[in-house]
Structure 1
Amino acid sequence: MEFMSFIPLFGTLANALLIAAGSTAGLLLRKNLPAKAAELPTQGMALFVITLGVGMAIKTQNPIVAVASIAGGSLIGELLGLEAAFESASRRLEKKFASGGGFLSGFITASLVYCTGSMAVLGSFEEGLGGYPSLLITKGLIDGMMSVAMAASLGFGVILSSIPVFIYQGALTIAAGWLQPFMSEAAVTEMSAAGGLMLMAIGLNLLGLMKIRVMNMLPGFVLAVLLVKLFP
């Protein structure tokens, strides 16, 4: 295992590659399915995302922080126009890679599923503070298996979710020493709860029940960390 110390961001890189490998397998399965046959699996994936989000959200230890971070973060995101900017960038990627429909929902859903859990934060800190990246490798195996089903249901956007996963976890790993004082157990819990609410919104979008601008909620992650300090 000593060779891993010579590979920068080994845990994050392994996580991203496992997502890409699983997604590739899922896309190969998707090619052999008629379009109609993919509808029910997509709805099943939406229900899974909602269930995952509920499981994360109910772990909050401070509902005031969870609600305030989503509300405040959404307001900031709306003012900044994050969703519109993200959709524009995603459409350029979709055109470049000649992907079929559903690119945006697959990209957003997979990116949030892989980035919002506490394992992403704790695993990045483990590696960034000099430990063996066991959490990130474990997370990568889980994400890789999930990406097979997600790519088969949601399409090509899932494979490119490995890019924001690498950027997000890599940034946390590099900044681990500086961020550690702010990232208490309570902060990680409330970040995860806010992420759970976002996943529930993504699931509702996938089911076509409503259109929630989930990307505009992303500043809620930062607010959750700050609000934990104000409402301990």
Structure 2
Amino acid sequence: MIGPFVNGGALLLGSLAGAFLGPRLDKNLRNHMPMVFGCASMGIGVAMVVKVKFLAPVVLALVVGTLLGELVRLETGIQKAAGSARGLIEKIATPSGDLSQEEFLDKFVAVMVLFCVSGMGVYGSMNEGMTGDPTLLIVKSILDFFTAPIFASILGYTVGILVIPQLAVQATLYLCAALILPLTTPDIMADFSACGGLIMLATGFRICGIKQFPVANMIPALILVMPLSALWAHFVG
């Protein structure tokens, strides 16, 4: 397992560098680059959505998954954990940026989705688990290494703790890939991609400040979409 650790290292190093530089980075760079990353997230999302095979189970997974996320207050839980982590980190490090707690939590959730459950990370982990080829995750590592400093210059050292959920997600997918992928079909994987793409699209809107989608609450849809797509293909498709 190479890719998840390389990606985690790139995210950690980039976050530390960005938080250390903080306000010393050009203001226009700190303000404009997140907009570019948000636009890239939306573009990736659109590219993933067009792969859809069965739209109905994808929409159903997104609606039911988001409903479950809202009921268990997934995003609220993540925000509380992020707020606590920020407080602990700022006791031993100089705070970076001048965001209010509300602004910080809003941006942190969107960045968490971008780093931890992006399409490239999910597929890269599963691909390495099946083939042993870490290329996709290494490419993601390069992107994260340049993306993380910008967000860390705004959000501070707290961005570095995203290494933990990122590594957990990627390692789990890597280890489970041999069990999951034989049960899938190209159509199921296409619908999984489309569902992930919708979440990436919502993440891009949130990063750009266009619309505050509950992206963390939408994550359970990724768990539901594969079985729903399989059932749809068996009984309807």
TM-score normalised to the size of structure 2?
A: 0.78
What SS class does the counterpart of residue 59 from structure 1 fall into? coil
- Provide structure 1 residue ranges, at least 5 long, that are not aligned to the other structure: 1-8
What SS class does the counterpart of residue 183 from structure 2 fall into? coil
Q: Which residue type is aligned with residue 225 of structure 1?
A: M
Whether the 8 Å contact between 1:54 and 1:197 is mirrored in structure 2 is: yes
1:57 to 37, 49, 58: 49
Task: Identify the range of structure 1 (45-54 vs 87-96) with the bigger mean alpha-carbon deviation.
Answer: 45-54
For residues 2-32 of structure 1, give each alpha carbon's deviation from its aligned partner in whole angstroms, at most 9, with x where no partner exists.
Answer: xxxxxxx332111110122223333345431
Task: Identify the range of structure 1 (126-135 vs 61-70) with the bigger mean alpha-carbon deviation.
Answer: 126-135
| Alignment length (residue pairs) | 224
Within 5 Å, which residues of 2 pair with 1:138-177?
138-152=139-153, 155-177=156-178
Q: Measure how far apart 1:173 and its partner are.
A: 1.5
Within 5 Å, which residues of 2 pair with 1:59-98?
59-98=51-90
Q: Which residue type is aligned with residue 186 of structure 2?
A: E
For residues 37-92 of structure 1, give each alpha carbon's deviation from its aligned partner in whole angstroms, at most 9, with x where no partner exists.
Answer: 73343334333333332232233222223211111111111111111111111111
**Hey, what's the Cα distance between the residues in 2 that align with 1:73 and 1:169?**
20
Distance 1:142 1:229, change over 3 A: same
Within 5 Å, which residues of 2 pair with 1:96-115?
96-98=88-90, 99-100=95-96, 101=99, 102-115=103-116
**Hey, what's the Cα distance between the residues in 2 that align with 1:115 and 1:129?**
20
Task: Identify the range of structure 1 (104-113 vs 11-20) with the bigger mean alpha-carbon deviation.
Answer: 104-113
Whether the 8 Å contact between 1:107 and 1:161 is mirrored in structure 2 is: no
Counting aligned pairs with the same residue, the percent is 28
**Hey, what's the Cα distance between the residues in 2 that align with 1:120 and 1:43?**
21
For residues 165-221 of structure 1, give each alpha carbon's deviation from its aligned partner in whole angstroms, at most 9, with x where no partner exists.
Answer: 100011112222322233433333322322222222233333444432221111100
TM-score normalised to the size of structure 1?
A: 0.80
Q: Which residue type is aligned with residue 143 of structure 1?
A: D
Aligned to 1:123: 124
Q: Which residue type is aligned with residue 115 of structure 2?
A: Y
Aligned to 1:5: none
Task: Identify the range of structure 1 (41-50 vs 148-157) with the bigger mean alpha-carbon deviation.
Answer: 148-157
Q: What is the root-mean-square deviation of aligned Cα atoms in Å?
A: 2.8
- Provide structure 2 residue ranges, at least 5 long, that are not aligned to the other structure: none
Whether the 8 Å contact between 1:66 and 1:193 is mirrored in structure 2 is: yes
